[in-house]
Structures are given as structure tokens and as C-alpha cells.
Amino acid sequence: MIDTRTAPYAALLLRLATGALFLAHAGLKLFVFTPAGTAQFFGNLGLPPAFGYVIIAAEIAAGVALILGVWTRLVAIATIPILLGAIVLVDGASGFYFTNAGGWELPGFWTVVMIVQALLGDGAYALGPALTAPSTDRLAGAYSR
């Protein structure tokens, strides 16, 4: 049974943590690998180097949106292809366990986390609208008048 009193705070905590992780990943690409280095890495993977800049921007946008709670479900779903791409193109060849050489354990788990976030929705203290149908409680109230 879902505890409806605490579930919004669980969604909030998950949203804040994943948003911070996306910002940290973007920061790694910006400040450690540099945008030019990230673009070169994407080129070495056989992708257009400009795609590296797109991923940096997407990670920043996703991180900020998740932290603020803006279109949480949509953002969570939109990040899944990025994470699956990391598994297929970067970490998957290194096996399951995530080490300095890679591995798909972490991006695989993170993919599941984003699916869970999409299912949970915004949670508490979100600024943006949820992509949900009206709750039955609101509908019941409308019909009882």
C-alpha cells in the first residue's frame, strides 16, 4: 500500500537527487573533460561531435527541471534515451559492474530510477504542472455538488 502522506516527499527526494546527478554529470563534461573534449569523445564513438554539446545542454536542462519540479514526468522520460545511449555506446562493453573502465550497472540503475520518477510524478514542492489525469478525488468532489 502506498502511504499517500509520505509518497510526495519520496518523489521530491528522488527528483532532487536525480536532478543533482544530471547537473554533476554535465559539470564533469564542462569542467573536467571540457566541452571540446566531450565533443571529441562523441566523435570517437562515431557520433557527430556536436552531439556532445547537445548532451551537455540536455543534462543541464534536465537537472534544473527536475530540481525545480517542472514537467517532471516528461523530463524523466526524455532522459532515458541518454542513459540507454550511455549503456550501449560507452559503458556496456565493459560488462555489468561499474568501475573506472565503465560498466552498465550505474546507468542501468539510473534508467530504472528515471522510469520510477516518471511513474511517481512531481511530488512535493514542484513548480511545474504534472502530466497526469485528474485524480478521482477531484472528480468525486465535482460530482458531489
Write the pLDDT tens digit of every residue in 14-50.
Answer: 999 999 999 999 999 999 999 999 999 999 999 999 9
Cα→Cα distances 136→39, 56, 59, 118, 142, Å: 48, 39, 34, 20, 10
Task: Give strand pairing partners of 107.
Answer: none
CB 72 within 8 A of CB 128: yes
Residue 132 is predicted with a pLDDT of 53
CB 107 within 8 A of CB 87: yes
Q: Which residues contact 93 (CB under 8 A, 6 or more apart)?
A: 102
pLDDT of 145 higher than 90: no
Domain ranges of the chain: 9-129
Write the pLDDT tens digit of every residue in 80-134.
Answer: 999 999 999 998 888 998 887 788 999 999 999 999 999 999 999 999 765 555 5
pTM (two decimals): 0.85
Query: What H or E segment, with its residue span, contains residue 56?
Result: helix 50-68
Q: pLDDT band for position 138 (50/70/90)?
A: very low
Cα→Cα distances 70→15, 24, 76, 134, 142, Å: 10, 19, 11, 18, 27
Residue 134 is predicted with a pLDDT of 53
